[in-house]
Amino acid sequence: MGDLEHGASRQRRLERLADSADFRRVREQGRCWSDPRVVLCAHPNGLARVRVGYAVSKRIGKAVRRNRIKRLMRESVRAYSDLVSPGWDIVIIARQRVSVSDYWEVQGSIGHLLGQAGVFRSTDVAMTGQTG
RNA sequence: CGAGUGAGCCAGGCGACCGCGGAGGGCCGGUAACGGGCCUUCGAGGAAAGUCCGAACUCCCCAGAGCACGAUGCUGGAUAACGUCCAGGCGGGGUGACCCGACGGCACAGUGCAACAGAGAGGAGAUUGCCGCCUGCAGGCAGGGCCCUGGUUCUGCGGCCGGCGGUGAGGGUGAAACGGUGGUGUAAGGGACCACCGGCGGCCCGGGCGACCGGGUCGGCCAGGCAAACCCCAUCGGGAGCAAGACCAAGCAAGGGGCGUCCCGAGCAUGCUCGGGACAGAGGCUGCUCGUCUCAGGCCCCGGGUAGGUCGCACGAGGCGCCGAGCAAUCGGCGUCCCAGAUAGAUGGUCGCCAGCGCCGUCGACGUGCGGCGCGACAGAAUUCGGCUUAUCGGCUCACUCGCCUC
RNA sequence: CGGGGCGUAGCGCAGCCCGGUAGCGCACUUGAAUGGGGUUCAAGUGGUCGGACGUUCAAAUCGUCUCGCCCCGA
């Protein structure tokens, strides 16, 4: 509701998902979609904002590589942040293949899965967001 | 020019757009809590890594002693400390610049191990050989005869076999066999003796703070290897770790178990409570002994409940520059700078240009010119420092060594 | 941050303390018995002992460093 009040008091569109219980709820009660690079899970949170969490297993690589993958995923989600409708908790899990993917492949995967999950405000806006 | 040694440094640069975390300052909305946005500024490494050592800091609340246990191990120095660093000694490697070394132990007392081979593996051993002596009955060698191709008998011998003794030099085994060379001596030999050399020990002299080195003299050659085998000696070590620890908020705060005996006095429900005293005991101090602290008041254990916020938390054995002391590690003085603080964890994404390296193509001009493609390592702070170790594409600087060529 | 364990034949494990011969079971190969298969019996192949360096005459074993995997505690 805060983003409708005044232009100067826009709320942050994206928040981080930080609680272990939240992660577990999204994984167990939400729906999941996947492609060879990432797994995406989504679950309604009843709030007026979107929370996104990222999971990169130690099996993917060492600390530098895991940080790099998280940054690519965060940057990809940021590209779609204006298009996601509020009220969702999203968890994105890295698979083995992302370690050999570049940014555009990761963004494509995440955009495609967000579209499959149906968390965009409307479908045509999602398509325009995917190109840019 | 080629090959190499040592020391040190860098870790691509610039720009545009969109983002992230900290600090400071305004602004906007809101009573406030708070939220949003703007400006300025700062924002990973030489190893941030492995967590192998050492400390700071914090708590336990005493750490005092001994044993045990662990670590270290040439000498001197540096340092807050170290298993680190510097200098030196000794030993080893390299033509050399240089590099490597867990390098205490006859300061003292012990124990243990060495497969196989070999005679013998620790104060050992005697097969063969060498040397001396000995009988010729049995056995050895040589020759002859007989039965007949294997025995028997006769003769001879100390060269071969045998017996006794000496010896450990030679051959041989082994990773290792109780000095080496030459000589004297001897029946043959042996440090049995002599000369020189090597090594060991004692004493003396000289140099050095010292490890140790140089020289002399005497003894003796009887003194082996492994202590990353037990062990001994010297030195050091209280334990835990920022999830330490402090505060705030929230929540559970129900219940169970453990905490000696005796004597005296009082109370009553006649075996419990209270008070006093004595004795021991129990528990903590990471194992044990002494020692110390606590013991009727709360403590400990189980169970139960939270895992939110603030501090710790970034001015420090701090970085840089200059000067001085020292061979150096390092230390002192002056000036200057403020230089990451996340917490599902910031420091990123895309694009362009210029340099670097490699490959390919091209040329009236082989110029490293032009064009294209590719590569750009190892790796991400988590309380903070000092080291060590390990990973690492490529490049730069200085000093030095060896070889070849030219002048 | 602290602590512990493992790595040996294709697989699961002994051997390590106290150094000298790497062994067991399954599997694999060959042969015998059967018309064929299973089963059984006999024989056999197969191991850089995770890696590097060191101590030693000699290392799976002892020491140091390192790699990988697994498990605890706060």
Summarize pLDDT for A33-48 with one digit per residue, the tens: 998 889 999 988 877 7
DSSP string, A19-64: -HHHHHHHHHHSEEEE-SSEEEEEEE-SSSSEEEEEE--TTT--HH
- Give the model's confidence band at A65: pLDDT under 50 very low, under 70 low, under 90 confident, else very high: confident
Structure-model confidence comparison of residues A21 and A124, the more confident one? A21
For residue A3, say whether its CB is under 7 Å from any atom of strand B.
no
Measure A72 CA to B285 C1' (Å): 55
Q: What is the mean pLDDT of residues A64-73?
A: 89
The whole-angstrom separation of Cα A78 and Cα A5 is 23
Q: Mean pLDDT throughout A12-34? A: 79
Which positions 47-76 on chain A have a beta carbon less than 7 angstroms from any atom of strand B? 53-55, 62-64, 67-68, 70-72, 74-75
Q: Is the pLDDT of residue A123 over 60?
A: no
Contact yes or no for A26/A91 (Cβ under 8 A): yes
- pLDDT at position A18 over 60: yes
8 Å CB contact between A53 and A17: yes
The whole-number pLDDT of residue A83 equals 83
In chain A, residues 80 through 119 whose Cβ sits under 7 angstroms from any atom of nucleic acid strand B: 102-104
pTM recorded for the entire structure: 0.77
Please give the single-letter amino acid code of residue A19.
D
A4 touches strand B (CB under 7 A): no
The rounded radius of gyration (Å) of the Cα atoms in chain A is 15
Please report, rounded to a whole number, the percentage of residues in chain A having pLDDT higher than 70.
80
Structure token digits, residue A9: 């008091």
Q: Which amino acid is at A88?
A: W
| Mean pLDDT calculated for residue range A98-127 | 79
Report the distance separating Cα A90 and Cα A40, nearest Å: 7
* Distance in angstroms: CA A23, C1' B64: 56
Interior/surface letters A78-97, b for 16+ CB within 10 angstroms, e for the rest: eebeebbebebbbbbbbbee
